[in-house]
Amino acid sequence: MVSTDSISTLRADIASRPFVAKLHDWVTTVDHKRLGILYIVYALVFLLIGGIEATIMRIQLIRPHNNFVSPSVFNQMFTMHGTTMIFFVAMPILFGFANYLMPLMIGARDMAFPRLNAFSFWLTAFGGILLYFSFLGANGLYGAGSAPDVGWFAYAPLTSQTFSRGHSTDFWILALLVSGFGSIGTAINIVATIACMRCPGMTLGKMPLLGWLNLVMAVLVILAVSPLSAAQIMLLVDRYLGGHFFDTQAGGSAVIWMHFFWIFGHPEVYVLVIPAFAFASEIIPVFSRKAIFGYPVMVAATVCIAFIGMSVWAHHMFTVGMNSNANTFFVLSTMAIAVPTGIKIFNWLATMWGGKIHFKTPMLFAIAFLFQFLVAGLTGIMLSAAPFDWQLGNSYFVVAHFHYVIVGGILFTTFGAFYYWFPKMSGKMYNETLGKLHFWLFLIGFHLTFDFMHIPGLLGMPRRIYTYEPGRGWDTFNLIVTIGVFFQGAGILVFVANLLWSYFHGETAGSDPWDAWTLEWSTSSPPPTYNFATIPEVRSRRPLWDRKHPEDPDWKYE
């Protein structure tokens, strides 16, 4: 009784602390769970901002020759939308989940370097603020604030002083440079945590797939973000120290920027999608009530995707006039990625096969992910055929394709992850009805927008145009695409409402609401600061299955 009393006194103490003290706790925290939540909340704020930017673009494109925004505002919107969604939504949200979940799932009390963890988060946070400060601080040509307008891949020489006056491009460079260092810090932390902090018995072969996939993701971040940071520094040298790396007027090369950018840019896609695979690999087995099918093959396929993924970057450059040998090589490497990716889809299907599928919100998002990722993969094969890409590249078909990957694949699984781990993070159960409403609204909106977005691309509509000519057969499709945006927006509002309502009024979740099998479900919800009172010991990939089924444990089969 004494201990219970003291705990409740402690709770009361915490609850009654002044707001400033609580804020101080959050700002100075080095706890992986709090940093994870900070990353996630930060990313959600930017998701709303990036979504507003997308909506502005879609309203402008609702009909030909529309005058909702000026061309320069439109160009700023697509630059900020792309930069925000990749660097300040997708990466932080996935780092947030990795931060929160990884130590719990490998039975550790924190990340390997808690202070580096906090430092990395605040670098990323500062990067995002720096980017948005450009609206106020980057003197444009006329002295007014102006956001970057060079596109999220900022091709040279549009970024040179000649074509980009003022400081908007500098804000873009510095924001990505700063947040890039944050990303590298977190990646090193994840690698070190997995290498050194696994609980007794957890060999690499017994680590949950989420651990493996985040390890591969972290290695890719280190490999991919470094060249981007190097290129950003070179660009700064060009702009301020008289360098000529990318300054074509002084004999520099625009193409070398493309190589630098895409050797970051393509692995970046895998940096984002591999954690999404990780969510699917945790959610699908639990809601199908079966072990993941072909664990070693799943690991091998992931490593294979990362390895080949480092050698496909120039498929973003099929139209820049590489010779036919180079084009042919990048066709082969790109198509080869379809093999391990296909294996993963088949293994998820095999996991569902013969199971007893519970259609809870997380699983609905995971199933939609499987469908959408299949379509995204197939349109990817179309784009990998270089001559087909000569027609489709830089058209709305490409825009539809990569939104199918990023929204249909990554964002859907991330929503699934939200609903799956929300009870663990908050201790409260989310509202299932609202969750399903969110799912259906977002699914309808997604398909209205991104299915129909493919077609104008096939009909010759290039991306990044603030308006288009009537009579090209694009009007109806653009109208439908814009209508879909409002369904997605409604879905997001339901999602935010669900999170807030459930946090304050949800039912108590308990430590293991899903009857799941990995270690995070063995501690209380939310977990205590130290995660585990005693460090667990594991004998298989599903320690909680072993505990729940002592008569038929996994370790007998693995």
135-164 binders of another protein (CB under 8 A):
149, 151, 155-158, 163
Least distance from another protein to the Cβ atom of residue 292, Å: 8
Least distance from another protein to the Cβ atom of residue 437, Å: 20
359 forms part of the interface with another protein (CB under 8 A): yes
- Nearest to another protein of 347, 426 (CB atom): 347
Among the listed residues 202, 22, 171, the one whose alpha carbon sits nearest the alpha carbon of residue 108: 202
352 forms part of the interface with another protein (CB under 8 A): yes
User: Candidates 13-21, 172-180, 225-233, 335-343 — which segment interacts with another protein by CB under 8 A?
Assistant: 335-343
Give the whole-angstrom CA distance, residue 248 versus residue 217. 35
3-state secondary structure of 201: coil
- Nearest to another protein of 226, 290 (CB atom): 290
305 forms part of the interface with another protein (CB under 8 A): no
465 forms part of the interface with another protein (CB under 8 A): yes
Give the whole-angstrom CA distance, residue 461 versus residue 394. 9
- Nearest to another protein of 30, 458 (CB atom): 458
Least distance from another protein to the Cβ atom of residue 478, Å: 13
Contacts of 195 (CB under 8 A, 6+ apart): 112
- Nearest to another protein of 469, 537 (CB atom): 469
Least distance from another protein to the Cβ atom of residue 469, Å: 7
- Nearest to another protein of 109, 541 (CB atom): 541
Region 260-299 residues binding another protein, contact defined as CB under 8 A? 288-291, 293-297
Output the DSSP codes for 436-488: HHHHHHHHHHHHHHHHHHHHHHHTT-BSS-S---TTSS-HHHHHHHHHHHHHH
Region 477-536 residues binding another protein, contact defined as CB under 8 A? none
389 forms part of the interface with another protein (CB under 8 A): yes
Enumerate the β-bridge partners of residue 508: 428
Instruction: Figure out which of the listed residues 143, 242, 251, 550 binds another protein, where binding follows CB under 8 A.
Output: 251
- Nearest to another protein of 348, 421 (CB atom): 348
55 forms part of the interface with another protein (CB under 8 A): no
205 forms part of the interface with another protein (CB under 8 A): no
385 forms part of the interface with another protein (CB under 8 A): yes
Question: With the C-alpha atoms ordered 194, 195, 196, 200, is the resulting torsion angle positive or negative?
Answer: positive
64 forms part of the interface with another protein (CB under 8 A): no
- Nearest to another protein of 59, 223 (CB atom): 59
Contacts of 477 (CB under 8 A, 6+ apart): 452, 453, 455, 456, 459
Instruction: Figure out which of the listed residues 459, 480, 490, 497 binds another protein, where binding follows CB under 8 A.
Output: 459
- Nearest to another protein of 123, 298 (CB atom): 298
Among the listed residues 235, 112, 244, the one whose alpha carbon sits nearest the alpha carbon of residue 176: 235
Least distance from another protein to the Cβ atom of residue 179, Å: 23
303 forms part of the interface with another protein (CB under 8 A): no
φ and ψ of 252, to 5 deg:
-70, 180
18 forms part of the interface with another protein (CB under 8 A): no
C-alpha torsion 484→486→490→492, nearest 10: 80
Least distance from another protein to the Cβ atom of residue 126, Å: 28
Least distance from another protein to the Cβ atom of residue 80, Å: 14
Distances (CA, A) of 427 to 213, 383, 423, 504: 26, 44, 5, 10
- Nearest to another protein of 143, 251 (CB atom): 251
Among the listed residues 159, 168, 147, 173, the one whose alpha carbon sits nearest the alpha carbon of residue 76: 147
Least distance from another protein to the Cβ atom of residue 40, Å: 29
Task: Report the largest interatomic distance among the alpha carbons of the chain, rounded to a whole angstrom.
Answer: 79
Q: Which pair of tokens denotes residue 475?
A: 């009007």
- Nearest to another protein of 18, 251 (CB atom): 251
Contact letters for another protein, residues 536-555 (x by CB under 8 A): -------------x--x-x-
Tell me, letter by letter, the H, E, C secondary structure of 116-160.
Answer: HHHHHHHHHHHHHHHHHHHHHHCECCCCCECCCCCCCCCCCCCCC
Distances (CA, A) of 527 to 26, 106, 405: 16, 14, 33
